[in-house]
Chain A
Amino acid sequence: MIGLLVVSHGAFGESLIHSASHVLGRRPLYLRQLGVTVHDEPDAILPVAEDLIRYVDKGSGVLVMTDIFGATPSNIATRLLRPGRVEGVAGVSLPMLIRALNYREECDLPALVEKAISGATEGVMRIPPP
């Protein structure tokens, strides 16, 4: 099972996890989040993030999901990446998280990266008229 870590602004990651747990009817294992606030110094919070990576890594690697590419949470997430072992995607959303949760047992890490991205992009659409 691939571990999942959401690194995002404030309480966004925790809200995403709450919402995904509500949809799936259970709180998924090896899914953690790190909420970054204006008070957090990136150098100081990095060891906390690395600790979470170690916690969620069950041997199949970790997918780090962040919100806005280039923002501080994303810059922290970037420093966590280890090609092939810890991969990252930006633009995390509820469709992305649910897609990742659904495929992390059957996919390897490169495939899960693709699944997460397609889940997020397919979740953006104009709502068809009733």
Chain B
Amino acid sequence: MMKRTIKVSNKLGLHARASAKLTQAASKFESAIWLTRNARRVNAKSIMGVMMLAAGIGTTVELETEGPDEEAALGEIEALFNDKFGEGE
């Protein structure tokens, strides 16, 4: 199992479209992927779950991956956050 704490840096946070991008990326991996914020832990492959985190800019979330491709999954999802989900701000 791999874990990483990530700061949400895009202006709109994990809003609907960013959540959709995240869940689409997560769904490509075989590993189980979880996101946690304030004791709420959700399946990162579920768009409604990810939106329920209501993670705005400046909040931190914990990313966990577990399975055969956990390292690649962690890397790709962390890169999405760092790329501000392609939103530029």
State yes or no: do A and B come from one complex: yes
Q: Which residues of B8-64 are within 8 A (CB) of A?
A: 16-17, 19-21, 23, 46-48, 52, 54
Q: Which residue of B lies closest to A118 (CB)?
A: B48
Q: Which of A3-11, A22-30, A53-61, A65-73 binds B? A: A22-30
Which of under 10, 10 to 19, 20 to 34, or 35 or more describes the interface residues of A?
10 to 19
Q: Does the CB pair B17–A98 fall under 8 Å?
A: no
Q: Which residues of A contact B19 (CB under 8 A)?
A: 23
What is the minimal beta-carbon distance from A125 to any residue of chain B, in angstroms? 9
What is the minimal beta-carbon distance from A17 to any residue of chain B, in angstroms? 15
Q: Does the CB pair A98–B21 fall under 8 Å?
A: no
Chain B binding surface SS class: helix
Q: Which residues of B contact A22 (CB under 8 A)?
A: 16-17
Report the bound CA distance from A99 to B43 in whole Å: 14
Q: Which residue of B lies closest to A19 (CB)?
A: B16
Q: Does the CB pair A102–B17 fall under 8 Å?
A: no
Q: Which residues of A1-48 are within 8 A (CB) of B?
A: 22-25
- Contacting residue for B48 out of A24, A95, A128, CB 8 A: A95
Supply 15 further A-B pairs (C-beta < 8 A) apart from A25-B21, A102-B23, A102-B47: A22-B16, A22-B17, A23-B19, A23-B20, A24-B20, A25-B17, A25-B20, A95-B48, A98-B48, A99-B48, A102-B48, A119-B48, A122-B48, A122-B52, A128-B54
List residues of B whose CB falls within 8 A of some A CB: 16-17, 19-21, 23, 46-48, 52, 54
List residues of A whose CB falls within 8 A of some B CB: 22-25, 95, 98-99, 102, 119, 122-123, 128
